Amino acid sequence: MWSVPYDYNLYSNWLGVGISAPGVTKNGEGNTWFNQMYHDSSSDTLGFSRKEYYSESSTLIYKDDKLQISGIMTTGHHAIVRITVRPVNDSDLADFHANGS
């Protein structure tokens, strides 16, 4: 979830990263994951962290037992967001062969 406001006198940039429960591909009727991540808290179907980016840009991290999601966002009107998804255990990474074999 990300939000970049029109009026910085009243609002700030916000970023949220999270992971849905296994098998959950959509939120309940009439609710969106954006609204939950912006206004509410984690639930059984969606765990997340969120952070306000007003004057500094530090990394936001959320992880479960298998994945770690980290994100960072700039503080300006033309915000840049960088999200990284990686396994918690490096042994779960796929093998990489530079020669293509």
**CB-based contacts of 92, cutoff 8 Å, min separation 6:** 66
pLDDT at 94: 83
Task: Indicate the domain borders of the chain.
Answer: 2-88
pLDDT tens digit sequence for 23-55: 998 877 777 899 999 999 999 999 999 999 998
Q: Cβ–Cβ contacts within 10 Å for residue 49, how many? A: 17
Contact 13, 3 (CB under 8 A): yes
pLDDT for 65: 93
Quick one: pLDDT at residue 32? 87
Q: List Cα–Cα distances, 47 to 23, 68, 95, 98, in angstroms.
A: 14, 12, 29, 36
Quick: pLDDT tens for 63-94: 999 999 999 999 999 999 999 999 999 888 88
Kindly state the tokens that stand for 78. 């033309």
